Amino acid sequence: MSNTTAADRISDTPMIPRDHLFGNPTRSGGRISPDGNWVSWMAPWEGVMNVFVAPADDPGSARRMTSVKDRPIPQHLWSPDSKSLLYIRDHEGDENYLLYQVNLEGTEEKCLTPFENTRIQLIGGSETIRDKILIGVNNRDARFHDPHLLNLTTGELSLVFENNEWAGFGADDSLTLRWAMRQNAKGGTDMHEIIDGKVAEEPRESTGLDDAMTTGMAGYTTDGSTLYWYDGRGRNTAALYAEDTATGERTLIAEHDKADISGTMRDTKTGVVQAWSATYLRTEHHAIHEGIGASLDWLREQLEGDFGVMSRTDDDLRWLVWNDPMTGPLACYLYDRETETLTQFYVTKPELEGAPLEPMHPVEIPARDGLTLPSYLTLPGGSDPFATGKPVEPAPMVLLVHGGPWARDTYGYNRAHQWLANRGYAVLSVNYRGSTGFGKDFVNAANREWAGKMHDDLIDAVEWAVSEGIAERDKVAIMGGSYGGYATLVGLTFTPDVFACGVDIVGPSNLETLLKTIPPYWEPMVKQFHERMGDPTTAEGREYLKSISPLYKASEITKPLLIGQGANDPRVKQAESDQIVEAMERDGVPVTYVLFPDEGHGFHRPENNIAFNAIAENFLAEVLGGRAEPVGDVLGASTADIRVGKEHVGL
C-alpha cells in the first residue's frame, strides 16, 4: 500500500472555506404567492435568516418582512389569500414552535399563538376557505394538540375539539375534522372517523406495528369525493390509492417495487393527483396529467441534475423550481408554463460556483443477511481521476450516519459530504435497516435491533468499503447526529477495533433515560418506541435497554471521541452527553465535549455550526491525517463551551 497521505492526494484541490459551506445561504426557501403576484424567500439580516418579499415580475425589488435577530426562522409560507406571510419560531432550540404572521405591507408582525411551553402543528388548509386554517395547540395539555380554527384576518383562535387521547387528526377542504388517529396496543395506528363532531367508537381503519410507518391518509380532493391513501397493508412498499368516499371503493394509482410512494403533485384547484414520486437511490417523478407531464419533461431538458417543484400559483401557470446540479450550489428558477420561460431567481450559495465539489455516487451494499443497503459515496478531491467511482488507492473514510433512525439519506448536494471530501476523506452514508422509504420490511427489520443488526449494517458497509479499495482499514471514523450520534457511541463501545475515532452530535448514551425524558407531545406515540426499541416499563425491557446503551460500556472506548450537545435539546437531553462524559472521565478515557447553551437538537445558528465543524475537522485531521482549516477565531463568534478536552483538538 502506498504511503501517500490524504493531504498529498488532494494537494492540488483548493480548500473550500468552512463558512462557504456552513454559513448562511444568500437566499433559500423561495415561495410564490398563491395569486402569483409576489415571491418570498429567506435571506440573512444581521446574520440571521429572515423573510423577504418582492413583486414576482421584479424580484430585485426586495423588502424585508421580519426582524429576527437571535435565531434563524426555519420555515415560512403564504396565507391562502396571499394577504400575509406566516412563519414559525422556537426559543433557543426548545422546539416549542409558535406561529407568527406579518402582513404584506410589513407594518404588522405578531404572534398568533402567544402561549408558554407550546408547540403548534398545522392540521389543514383549504382551497375554498382562504382566510382560515386549522392548527393544533398543546397549551392546555402538553401531551395533546387541541384542534383550533385560526382566523388569519382577525387572529381569532376558536377551539374545535378538546383532545385528551388522540395523536393526530385529518380534515377536509371545508376545514371539518374527519378523522382522529391514535396508537393501539400493538404499536400500530387506529383511525376513527369523526361524524358530526363526534369520534366513532370503533376504528374504521387500523394497522399493526408493521404497517404503522407506511400507511396513512394523504388528503381529500377539494369536493371531498376522493380520499387518497398511502397504504402498505398486504404489500411491502406503500402504494398510492384513491378511495371513492361515497362507495368506499379503492383504486390503485401508483406503486414502486423498491420504494414507497413518497410525494404527489395535486391540481391546485381540485386537489386531484396529477403526478407522483418515489425515491430508491434517486427520485423518480411520474406524471398522470398530460400537461404536468409535458412541463416536467420540458424542465428535464432545460436543467442538469435533479429538480423539483417547490411552489405553485393557484392558476398553476407559474412554478418555483429548485435545481440541484450535484456539483454546484442549489438554484431556484421562476418557470412560466404558458411562455415556457425559465428565469433564475437565485443561487443559494454563489460562493460555491466553481468550487471543487465532488460527485455523489449511489451504491448498493450487501448486508451479511442478504439485505441490500441503498447508500451514497463521495470521494476526496483528486482521488478518482478516471471517474470510476473508486479512488486510485484507499483513502481515510468518514462513515456519516443519519439520524432518526426512522429517516433516510438521499442523493444530491450534501454539504457535510462536500466538506469532508474536500478535507481528504471518502464519505459514506448508509441507509441501514430501519431507514424509511424502502418498504415496511426494511423498516421492521430494525425492530429491537439497536446496537444489533442496525449496527451490523454499518460494520458491513465499512467492510465493503475496505474490500472495494475505497477505505483504509485503520483510518475509518464514525460520525453522526441523534441516532447517528448513538451509532457513533455504539461503534466505539461495541466494536472498538473498527473505528479510529468518533464524532457524536446530540446522541443518546442511555436508552432507558432517553425514553423517560421524551417530549410530552410524543407520549401518544410512545408505544411504538417501546415496541421498536425496548420497553422500559418492564424489568426485562429495562435490562435489554441497558444492554444496548453505550453508557454502560464507556470503559470499552479506546479511541478519540468528540461530543457536541445543545443545552436545550428536548429530544436528547443534555444529561445523555453529560453522563457518558462523566463515565469516560472516571475511567480515564480521553474525550472532548462541546456544549452550546443556546442550541437544541442540532446546531442551527451558523456561527455555532461553523465553530463545531472547525473543532471536528481539526479533530479528524489529527486522527485520520486529512487537512483542516485552522480553528482561528470562529469560537469567539459562537457560544461554544468546551467543557472537557481542549487539549485533544489543539486548543
DSSP labels, 353-398: TTS----EEEEEEE-TTS-EEEEEEEPPTTS-TT-SSS-SS-EEEE
Virtual CA dihedral for 512, 513, 515, 520, nearest 10 degrees?
Answer: 160
Under a CB-based contact definition with an 8 Å cutoff, are residues 453 and 375 in contact? no
Catalogue the active-site residues.
482, 569, 601
Q: What is the 3-state secondary structure (H, E, C) of 169-227?
A: EEECCCCCEEEEEEECCCCCEEEEEEECCEECCCCCEECCHHHCCCCEEEEECCCCCEE
Residue with cell 398510492: 240
Query: How far apart, in whole angstroms, are the C-alpha atoms of residue 102 and residue 91?
Result: 19
**Secondary-structure percent of the chain, ordered helix, strand, coil, rounded to 5:** 20, 35, 45
Handedness of CA 346, 267, 285, 405 (dihedral sign): positive
- The helix/strand/coil state of 470 is coil
Under a CB-based contact definition with an 8 Å cutoff, are residues 93 and 379 in contact? no
DSSP H or E run through 300: helix 290-302
- The helix/strand/coil state of 615 is helix
Virtual CA dihedral for 619, 624, 630, 636, nearest 10 degrees?
Answer: -10
DSSP state of 600: B
Beta carbons within 8 Å of 70's beta carbon, 6+ residues apart:
48, 92
Query: How far apart, in whole angstroms, are the C-alpha atoms of residue 30 and residue 580?
Result: 42
Query: How far apart, in whole angstroms, are the C-alpha atoms of residue 419 and residue 17?
Result: 9
Omega before 519 cis (within 30°)? no
Residue 161, number of CB atoms within 10 A of its CB = 20
Under a CB-based contact definition with an 8 Å cutoff, are residues 479 and 488 in contact? yes
DSSP state of 14: P
341 φ/ψ angles, rounded to the nearest 5 degrees: -120, 145
Taking Cα atoms as reference points, which of 158, 207, 198, 160 lies closest to residue 179?
A: 198
Record the cell numbers describing residue 465, joined without a space: 468499503
